[in-house]
Amino acid sequence: MSMTPEQAKAASDLIVAHWRAGSRMTELPDALRPATRAEGYAIQAHLEALAPLFGWKIAATSAAGQSHIGVDGPLAGRLLADHVYQPGATLPWANNTMNVAEAEFAFRMGRDLPPRAAPYTVAEALAAVATLHPAIEVPDSRFTDFAKVGGPALIADNACAHDFVLGPATTADWRTLNLVEHRAIGTVAGKLTREGIGRNVLGDPRIALAWLVNELSMHAITLRAGQVVTTGTCLIPLPIQPGDEVAVDFGVLGRVSVLFGAA
């Protein structure tokens, strides 16, 4: 039996209550547990009642990201405006349990891409992009052991979305660059921690963007002009602690940093 709208709303309410309290649950109750990706997205959709939709994130676009949350493919989540911060801001620690930050290529859309029967090509997705930005995502989960609950439940949990920092739009001619080979350096507390490369993001951040467009299209969702799509970590997630400064340097594409407050 498929999940009812009332069950989807109840599941979302429970996830949101944990998000706001900074608390965790082992798993959703049986009656509220999504069995499919579509049910996961139906639960997730209720988040749009909480805050304006800033854009979308893709979780698990790299082998490291998939291993980190225990899935075998990407997941889409919503970026809510009340969890988006300016570069250099101090983010609240707020009982974060994942304790990582991620360096990401982010695209701001210049026009709508509505649902349609035929998949969008990478070229079509890129043609709708206005700007490219360096970004930092700070994921978290409302589950105690997020690597064991499975894809549908993680989609319901907003694909582990939490906080997001969007860097300035790059002034480089990014459309002529080979993003597959483009490198990023992540530092924590001023020390080199990780290096990453565009190919870690589904083989190419542009392919990841097209994946998100088609994932939304499949679930009858329009990707809107002005919304941002952050394409998933291009490096092994950076370990963070309260008080750390995290910076990611994408070379000619720009740099973005953020501070973390006390626990």
Non-local (6+) Cβ contacts of 100 within 8 A are 68, 138, 139, 237, 238, 239, 240
Q: Give residue-wise pLDDT tens across range 138-189.
A: 999 999 988 889 899 999 999 999 999 999 999 999 999 999 999 999 999 9
Entry pTM: 0.95
Domain residue ranges of the chain, discontinuous segments joined by +? 5-85+104-173+197-234
Does the pLDDT of residue 105 top 80, yes or no?
A: yes
> Percentage of the chain with pLDDT > 70?
100
Q: Give residue-wise pLDDT tens across range 51-82.
A: 999 999 999 887 777 777 788 789 999 999 99
DSSP string computed for 18-44: HHHHT--BSS--GGG--SSHHHHHHHH
Higher pLDDT, 110 or 93: 110
Alpha carbons 49 and 29: distance in angstroms, whole number: 22
What local confidence, expressed as pLDDT, does residue 72 receive? 79
Contact 242, 93 (CB under 8 A): yes
What CATH number was assigned to the domain covering residues 5-85+104-173+197-234? 3.90.850.10
186-221: burial string, b at 16+ Cβ within 10 Å, e else: bbbeeeebbebebbbbbebbbbbbbbbbbbbbebeb
Does the pLDDT of residue 1 top 70, yes or no?
A: no
CA dihedral 39, 147, 59, 188 (to 10 degrees): 150
Contact 234, 80 (CB under 8 A): no
